[in-house]
Structure 1
Amino acid sequence: MLLLLLISSAFVLPWAGAGRIIGGKEVVPHSRPYMVFLKIQVTNKTGTYHSFCGGFLIHPGAVLSAAHCLDKNGTVNVTVILGTHNIRVREQSQQRIRARNFVIHPNYHPEGHVNDIVLLKLETKAKINAYVRTISLPRHNEGVRVGTECEVAGWGRTSLEKTKTDVMREVKLKVQNDEPCQKQFRKYQPQSMMCVGDQNRRKSVHKGDSGGPLFCNQKAHGIVSRVLENRLFPEVFTRVSYFEPWIRQQLRRFALQELPASPSSQ
Structure 2
Amino acid sequence: MLLLLLLTNAFVLLPWAGAGRIIGGTEAKVHSRPYMAYLEVKNKTKSSRCGGFLIRPDAVLSAAHCMDIEKIVSVTVILGAHNISDEECSQQKISVGQWDIHPEYSREGFINDIVLLKLEQNATINEYVKCISIPKKNKHVRVGTKCNVPGWGWTSKEEDSTDVLREVKLKVQKEKICQRAFSDYEPQSMICVGDEKSKKATYKGDSGGPLVCNEKAHGIVSYGCDRNLFPEVFTRISHFEPWIHEQLKMFSLQDIPGSPSSD
- Regarding TM over 0.5, the answer is yes
Alpha-carbon deviation of 1:203? 0.2
Gaps of 5+ in 1: 6-12, 258-266
Asked whether 1:225 is paired with 2:222, we answer yes
- Provide the aligned C-alpha RMSD in A: 1.1
Structure 2 stretches lacking a partner, 5+ long: 13-17, 255-263
Q: Equivalent residue for 2:257?
A: none
1:14 to partner: Cα distance: 1.8
One-letter code aligned to 2:170? L
User: Which moved further from structure 2: 167-176 or 72-81?
Assistant: 72-81
- Please say if residues 61 and 256 of structure 1, whose CA atoms lie closer than 8 Å, have aligned partners that are also in contact: no
* Matching residue's letter, 1:15: F
Q: Match for 1:188: what amino acid?
A: Y
Give the Cα–Cα distance (whole angstroms) in 2 for the partners of residues 116 and 145 of structure 1. Answer: 21
Pair 1:256–1:222, CA change in 2 (3 A): farther
The reply to whether residue 66 of structure 1 matches residue 63 of structure 2 is yes
SS at match of 1:163: coil
Shift of 1:256: 6.2
Q: Which runs of 4+ in 1 moved over 3 A?
A: none
Instruction: Provide the rounded CA distance (Å) in 1 between the counterparts of 2:251 and 2:122.
Output: 12
Say how many residue pairs are matched: 246
In the alignment, which residue of structure 2 is the partner of 1:263? Answer: none
Q: Which whole-Å CA distance do the structure 1 matches of 2:126 and 2:253 have between them?
A: 19
Which residue does the alignment assign to 2:190? 193
1:157 aligns with 2:158: no
Aligned to 1:191, the other structure's residue is in SS state coil
Matches for 1:88-107 after TM superposition, within 5 Å = 88-107=85-104
SS of match in other structure, 2:244: helix
Deviation at 1:93, TM superposition (A): 0.1
| CA deviation vs aligned residue, 1:92-128 (integer Å, no higher than 9, x gap) | 0000000000000000000100000000000000000
**Cα distance, 1:51 vs. partner?**
0.3
Amino acid at match of 1:233: F
Cα distance, 1:186 vs structure 2 = 2.3
1:29 and 2:45 correspond: no
SS in 2 for 1:20: coil
**What is the DSSP-based 3-state SS (H/G/I as helix, E as strand, rest coil) of the residue aligned with 1:255?**
helix
SS in 2 for 1:131: coil
Q: Which residue of 2 aligns with 1:3?
A: 6
**Which residue identity is paired with 2:10?**
P
Alignment partner of 2:229: what SS?
coil
- Kindly indicate whether the alpha-carbon contact (under 8 Å) linking 2:41 and 2:72 is maintained by their aligned counterparts in 1: no
Contact 2:63–2:114 (CA<8 Å) still a contact in 1? Answer: yes
The equivalent of 1:261 in structure 2 is none
Q: CA offset at residue 18 of structure 1? A: 1.1
Aligned position for 1:40: 41
**Distance in 2 between the 1:2 and 1:186 partners?**
21
Please point out which of 233, 237, 241 is paired with 2:238: 241
Equivalent of 2:105 in 108, 113, 116: 108
TM-score w.r.t. structure 2 length? Answer: 0.92
2:4 matches 1:18: no
Say whether the 8 Å CA contact 2:105–2:111 is kept in structure 1.
yes
